[in-house]
Amino acid sequence: MRSFVHSTAAQRIVFGAGTIAEVGPELDRLPAGRALVLSTPGQARRASQVTGLLGSRAVAEFTGAVPHTPVEVTEQAVDVAQDHRADAVVAIGGGSTTGLGKAVASRLSIGHLVVPTTYAGSEVTPVLGETSGGEKTTRSAPDILPDTVIYDVELTTTLPWAVSVTSAINALAHAVEALYAHDATAETDELAIEAIRSLVAGLPALRADLAGLEARAELLYGGWLAGRCLGAVGMGLHHKLCHTLGGTFNLPHAATHTVVLPYAMAYNAPAAPRAMSLIAAAIDRNQAPSGVQALIQELGGPTSLREIGFAAADIDRAAELAVARSYPNPRELTRAGITRLLQHAYAGDPIQPS
Ligand code: NAD
């Protein structure tokens, strides 16, 4: 029997090429006039670009965003925001910068405008994962959802090919798990299928024309749709496993999603036949799990946990953590089953079409 909770939150999306020029007018609309501009150290040049566009409306920059939103870094950024009496944050970058923006804006109850530069999708979710003392905890609240998102396709042209692949597969994972989510609706199914089509069309198109804006637009559009899936329904085994691998074993976020996705799909496939046939149709392959694995191989993405720094000795502990708390997933989670999944993912074993 169907049973779900569906909330619709207000958020403004501006999508296009060259849309970064709208950052000033969009800040005015919040309304806000004293912005703290956030980025990672590697994207500091982009933060300066935003400061240049905002003029006196940018009161400070904090370019220390790092993955997994450590509380110590958030506290430093909160101090800067308070010292400068900021009434909004403008976060430019990937999920790490968006996470810091969410942490600062929700603590101070100030505006939040995001300019995403990857396909992580965090900018359209009310979810925040934070690390403290080596442990990552996630919370969801309406005030965590950013107020405005400016998607500027031109800003994604600097994303290296390898990161474009892993980031797009990270987005694909949101759409895949949305299709077998316990609280999926017709609306989220449509979003997920369109996200999968855009992402899977965009990647080969980008490889054929690395400087082209069309493929980048397709990928960023797919990233937005996939992010909306992530924000709308509960994620299952794949996201929980990646959360454990990233938060506890410090594996790189998007690359971990890329390795684990086909194995998590293969695990869930017997219990989610409808989702698997929708995914197979959307990616135009005979089978969903082996099809996604073949796609990642063709694109040159990472295919084993071993190659991204995971140690075989940690498989047991990761499996124990992954089944420690129960959550909705189409197939029952057993420690032995997850251990086998991780062994296959560690070695990069081929997924046999069933
Ligand atoms: P990231 O933000 O860490 O970015 C990866 C690297 O790419 C960084 O060094 C960054 O400076 C660089 N980069 C970003 N955009 C670039 C561009 N256009 N050109 C060149 N370099 C660029 O990684 P991510 O994968 O975007 O985000 C991962 C983080 O986001 C994780 O902490 C994850 O937990 C979080 N996340 C949260 C949610 C949520 O809903 N809460 C959703 C997805 C991801």
The answer, yes or no, to whether residue 313 has pLDDT greater than 90, is: yes
Nearest Cα to Cα of residue 300 among 115, 168, 172: 168
pLDDT at 1 over 80: no
- CA-wise closest residue to 195 among 215, 176, 214, 167: 176
157 CA closest ligand 1 atom index:
18
CA of 3 relative to ligand 1 center, distance in Å:
33
231 alpha carbon – ligand 1 mean position (Å): 17
- Pocket probe for ligand 1: among 39, 40, 258, the residue whose CB has the most ligand atoms within 8 Å is 40
Q: Look at residue 326 in the predicted model and tell me its pLDDT.
A: 86
Cα 269 to the center of its chain, rounded Å: 23
Q: Which atom of ligand 1 is the closest one to the Cα of 66?
A: 3
Cβ atoms < 10 Å from Cβ of 194: 17
First vs last C-alpha separation in the chain: 28
Compute, in degrees rounded to 10, the torsion defined by CA atoms 175, 70, 118, 186: 20
- Cα separation, 263 vs 278, in Å, equals 18
| Residues near ligand 1 (Cβ within 6 A) | 40, 42-43, 67-68, 93-97, 99, 117-118, 120-122, 125, 127-129, 155-156, 158-159, 163, 167, 170, 230, 253-254
How far apart are alpha carbons 177 and 261 in whole angstroms? 10
Answer whether 0.85 is exceeded by the pTM.
yes
CB-based burial label for 284 (10 Å; 0-12, 13-18, 19+): exposed
Neighbouring CB atoms inside 10 A of 78's CB total: 19
Between the CA of 94 and the centroid of ligand 1 the distance, in Å, is 3
Q: Specify the DSSP class assigned to residue 286.
A: S
User: Would you say residue 45 has pLDDT above 80?
Assistant: yes
| pLDDT surpassing 80 at residue 353 | no
Query: Which pLDDT belongs to residue 196?
Result: 98
pLDDT of residue 133: 82
Answer whether 156's CB lies under 8 Å from 118's CB. Answer: yes
Give residue 169's pLDDT.
98
The tens digit of pLDDT for each residue in 14-24 reads 999 999 999 99
Report pLDDT for 267: 98
Query: Which atom of ligand 1 is nearest to 231's Cα?
Result: 40
- Pure H helices in the chain: 23-29, 44-54, 71-83, 95-108, 161-179, 186-208, 213-232, 237-249, 253-268, 273-283, 288-299, 315-322, 335-347
Summarised one tens digit per residue, pLDDT across range 270-291 is: 999 999 999 999 999 999 999 9
Residue nearest to atom 22 of ligand 1 (CA): 159
Q: For the residues 301-308, what does the mean pLDDT come to?
A: 98
